[in-house]
Amino acid sequence: MTVQEIVEQLKATFGEKVGELSETLDPFLTLKAEDLLEIAGFLKDTAGLEMDFLQDETAVDYPDESLIRMVYHLFSYQHRHGIVLKVELDRAAPKVPTLEGLWPVANWLEREVWDLFGVDFEGHSDLRRIMLPDDWEGHPLRKDYEDPTEYHGISHDRPSPIDGFTRVDEKLRQIAAETAAQLAAATGEGESSEESAS
């Protein structure tokens, strides 16, 4: 099935709940968070669609729009077709139902999104960090994240070993400028020095 056919089938079943397919190179559907579980379940279990593989689940941060967009890539091994779903969440308190019940792999993928974006997955069985240490503060893939200054006493900065060194060509220019200034000062002092110079 093509993506358009899949979307038509979804519209026939869910009507208004399914938005328009985007006209991007990789077309996607935008859904509401409350409808996600229902529609994803339909895509997984309906004969002819049978999206048995959650390829990818991630998020993108849009601070200008105050949004975090969840992105779901679904694929069917049996029918060799797939679809991309997006869910827009409020950036201040992003919350979306978990897909762990449909695709067990969502457990780890959602832990990763929680770790790096701070999206709360309702109903997740084990929502804790998966990449960073448990006591890490903040969610690093948010655009306004600031680097830590230290972690457990390990400082986060390393002074450059070449600070304080001058490049040779700059040094030579500096010396040339100083010499020229000295010469100018010397020639300006009296005519005798000018004669000796000539």
Partner 1 sequence: MSKRYDSAGEGGGEILFANTSQIDDLINLARKNSVWYLLFGLACCGIELLQTGGPRADLERFGAVFRATPRQSDLMIVAGTLTYKMAERAKLLYDQMPEPKYVISMGSCATCGGLFQLSYSVVKGVDKIIPVDVYVPGCPPRPEALTEGLMKIHSLVTKERWADKMRARREGTQS
Tell me which residues touch partner 1 (CB under 8 A).
131-133, 140, 145, 147-148, 151-152, 154-158
Q: Shortest gap between Cβ of 133 and partner 1 (angstroms)?
A: 5
Q: Shortest gap between Cβ of 113 and partner 1 (angstroms)?
A: 17
Helices (H), the chain: 3-14, 33-45, 106-117, 168-189, 191-197
Q: Shortest gap between Cβ of 154 and partner 1 (angstroms)?
A: 5
Q: Which position has the token pair 């890539």?
A: 73
Q: Shortest gap between Cβ of 161 and partner 1 (angstroms)?
A: 8
- CA 106, CA 72: separation in Å to the nearest integer? 10
Q: Which is nearer to partner 1, 23 or 144 (CB)?
A: 144
Q: Which is nearer to partner 1, 79 or 142 (CB)?
A: 142
Residue type, 197: A
DSSP 20: P
Q: Which is nearer to partner 1, 82 or 140 (CB)?
A: 140
Q: Is 100 helix (H, G, I), strand (E, B) or coil?
A: coil
Q: Which is nearer to partner 1, 97 or 118 (CB)?
A: 118
CB 177 within 8 Å of CB 169: no
Q: Which is nearer to partner 1, 12 or 165 (CB)?
A: 165
- CA 96, CA 38: separation in Å to the nearest integer? 13
Give the 3-state DSSP-derived string for 119-150, with helices as H, strands as E and coil as C: CEEECCCCCCCCCCCCCCCCCCCCCCCCCCCE
- CA 123, CA 115: separation in Å to the nearest integer? 16
CA atoms within 13 Å, Cβ hemisphere of 30:
9
Q: Shortest gap between Cβ of 169 and partner 1 (angstroms)?
A: 25
Q: Which is nearer to partner 1, 128 or 156 (CB)?
A: 156
Q: Shortest gap between Cβ of 180 and partner 1 (angstroms)?
A: 39
CB 84 within 8 Å of CB 71: yes
